[in-house]
Amino acid sequence: MAGSLVIMANSVDELGGAQRVAHTLASGLSRRGWDVHAIGIEPAREPHDYRGEGYRTTTLMDAPFGTRDQGEEREAASTSAVERLSRILDDERPDAVISTQVWCMEHLSRVSRGPWRVVGQYHSSFEAASMPGGPLGRLVEAYREADVVTALTEVDAEALRESGLPQTVAMPNPLAFWPERVVDAGAEGGEVLALGRLSPEKAPMVLVRAWQEIADRHPAWSLRFVGSGPEEERVREAAAQGPWRIRIDPPVADPRPLLQEAPVLALPSLVEGLPLSLMEALAHGTACVAADCSSGVRELVIDGQTGLLAVRGEPEDLARQLDRLLSDRALRALLGAAARTHMEAYRAEPILDRWELLLRGDPG
């Protein structure tokens, strides 16, 4: 056996980015001989079965934390979760514990520290953490005693080191899969795909307004949102106001069938880390337009080489970049091919190599 490992997430059965990363790591490291236990603090309100093989999962709470009344009931649930986590760690004595989210770490910090190595992950950008009302202070406090902290890019790692977490290293998330089938980014028409939660920070209305500016010029193309969230009704209302060819579908667990058919992906977000939807689209050879909203996005989308960057929060600039892309088949094909080559560095195996070094105390 390579070693024993606990990977913690707020929930291990929620459909979300941090959860997908946790299960990708659990699956990949278990294949390499690690004894892996994935532990969630609370159950998801709408559970998703990740069907992970080779590792076990446990949820510490018996009901979602947010369904409980404020005050004593919530504290009792957290205390019970900490006690159960303590018993698991005492019994298993893992070599390392990875906390994928800050709330996990806040529970882990209440457990008497054993000999295990503690790794704290941060899945967004430093810019997002340091915004007014952002979690930077909470992040630094929670991860201060971790042996190592991982940020998604070296830019973010350096900023966290300067902010009180000197043990931070850069560690990108691995792709959960490597697509064998490549999309035809140079197709004459098709869908512009937008994957992700329909929430204010993802800025779906920026994309709607951009699309409304150019839809008439590209009748062979339509816009498809796949996701749900608080902005969904606004998107639907805007879509119904004209012949915009805008479709809204619920979120999916496996994006591969969608990505195999969509020549273009748009990411209008105001805040991101290293977005999995963008990574997976680039790996498919999709021509992508992304808002310039994080160092992670800039590492993935090298403007004019592996995709196009648009000014964050500006529908007019996003419209210009989309118009440029949809008007030029050769450009789409060129960007898509370069994007797939660029994503080779994010395949699971080389990133799992780095994780094994880090878990053994050598960040490489």
> How much of the chain, in percent, has pLDDT values that exceed 90?
89
Per-residue pLDDT reduced to its tens digit, 176-210? 999 998 999 999 999 999 999 999 999 999 999 99
List pLDDT tens digits, range 21-48: 999 999 999 999 999 999 999 999 888 8
Residue 5 parent element (H or E):
strand 3-9
Local confidence band at 78 (pLDDT 50, 70, 90 cut-offs):
very high
Residue-wise pLDDT for 273-292, tens only, equals 999 999 999 999 999 999 99
Indicate the fold that domain 190-345 takes in CATH. Rossmann fold (3.40.50)
Which residues are 149's β-sheet partners? 120, 168
Among the CATH numbers 3.40.50.150, 3.90.1720.10, 1.10.1740.10, 3.40.50.2000, which is that of 3-173+348-359? 3.40.50.2000
Calpha distance 338→285 (Å, rounded): 8
pLDDT number for residue 280: 97
Residue 101: partners with Cβ closer than 8 Å, 6 or more residues away: 8, 9, 10, 18, 121, 123
| 307 Cβ contact partners less than 8 Å away, ≥ 6 residues apart | 282, 287, 288, 289, 290, 300, 301, 335, 339
190-345 shares the fold of 3-173+348-359? yes
pLDDT at 364: 52
How many alpha carbons lie under 13 Å from residue 78 in its C-beta half-sphere? 18
Phi/psi-derived region of residue 46, left when phi > 0, alpha when psi is between -120 and 50, beta in every other case: beta
